[in-house]
């Protein structure tokens, strides 16, 4: 992808009665992080937002929707939690770089609506461009090649045709390799400003909301154009961190899950 390339942009119009939509991302849920999962469950039970949008990497890894039905699986337990939450308010999800294999089976099991990346949320007349953010890290050429490969339907079909146990083993190997690269790297690619501005202009939106980089901040990209970066969640190891970006027609507010 080059800075000039803009993907198709979907649009989601919130009901006129809605006042607030929460955005979260990068929880990287797995069985080794029970406190993070508990914090998510508590947040979904208490939030006063009209809807919650999860901007990717809800799971540390997703090996296929059939994992939900495996007896005693972590995926099945989390999906039951999400289904209970989706009965209280709409939940939306768009894919991250760790859970790009989430599909229709997940949507049926949870009641969550899957969104395209990117999607414009229209809330009270305000337009917010939502994305996971990885496609905008254009300087990371090796990752962009990997992303294009694993998002291809043929590649996914070949992977999903393998037994579940084999896919779990591959996921563990890929995670180990990814962690090794992360610890060895001295710099990490960030969202490209020119690419972000091109997306915003195509979407006729003044603000981009994304995760992926784990660098929470608010950046002014150009007059009238802002980039809001979500924090990742990790309540199992110091420094403990979690956060919510609450969107309203009047603007965005960073709050803690406990204050939601």
Spatial contact of 3 and 197, defined as CB atoms under 8 Å apart = no
The pLDDT tens digits along the chain (260 residues) read 445 589 999 999 999 999 999 999 999 999 999 999 999 999 999 999 999 999 999 999 999 999 999 999 999 999 999 999 999 999 999 999 999 999 999 999 999 999 999 999 999 999 999 999 999 999 999 999 999 999 999 999 999 999 999 999 988 887 777 666 655 555 678 999 999 999 999 999 999 999 999 999 999 999 999 999 999 999 999 999 999 999 999 999 999 999 99
In a domain, 144, yes or no: no
When divided into structural domains, the chain yields a total of: 1
In a domain, 133, yes or no: yes
In a domain, 211, yes or no: yes
In a domain, 117, yes or no: yes
CATH of residue 91: 3.60.21.10
pTM of this structure: 0.94
CB neighbour class for 114 (10 Å; exposed up to 12, middle 13-18, buried from 19): middle
> In degrees to the nearest 10, what's the CA dihedral of 231, 198, 116, 243?
10
In a domain, 250, yes or no: yes
In a domain, 118, yes or no: yes
In a domain, 172, yes or no: no
In a domain, 95, yes or no: yes
Give the domain extent around 234: 10-139+190-259
């Amino acid at each position: 992808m080059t800075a000039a390339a803009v993907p198709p942009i979907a649009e989601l119009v919130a009901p006129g009665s809605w006042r607030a939509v929460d955005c979260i991302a990068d929880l990287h849920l797995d069985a080794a992080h029970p406190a993070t999962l508990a914090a998510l469950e508590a947040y979904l039970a208490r939030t006063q937002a009209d809807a919650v949008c999860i901007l990717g990497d809800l799971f540390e890894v997703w090996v296929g929707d059939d994992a939900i039905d495996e007896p005693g699986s972590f995926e099945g337990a989390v999906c039951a939690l999400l289904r209970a939450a989706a009965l209280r308010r709409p939940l939306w999800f768009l894919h991250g770089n760790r859970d790009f294999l989430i599909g229709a089976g997940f949507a049926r099991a949870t009641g969550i609506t899957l969104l395209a990346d990117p999607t414009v949320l229209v809330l009270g007349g305000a337009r917010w461009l939502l994305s996971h953010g990885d496609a905008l890290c254009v300087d990371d050429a090796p990752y962009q090649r990997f992303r294009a490969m694993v998002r291809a339907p043929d590649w996914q079909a070949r992977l999903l045709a393998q037994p579940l146990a084999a896919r779990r083993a591959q996921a563990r190997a890929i995670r180990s390799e990814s962690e090794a690269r992360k610890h060895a790297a001295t710099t990490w690619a960030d969202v490209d400003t020119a690419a972000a501005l091109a997306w915003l202009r195509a979407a006729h939106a003044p603000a981009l909301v994304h995760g992926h980089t784990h660098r929470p901040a608010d950046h002014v990209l150009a007059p009238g154009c802002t980039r809001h970066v979500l924090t990742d969640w990790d309540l199992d190891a110091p420094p403990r961190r979690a956060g919510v970006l609450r969107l309203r027609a009047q603007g965005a507010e960073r709050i803690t899950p406990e204050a939601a």
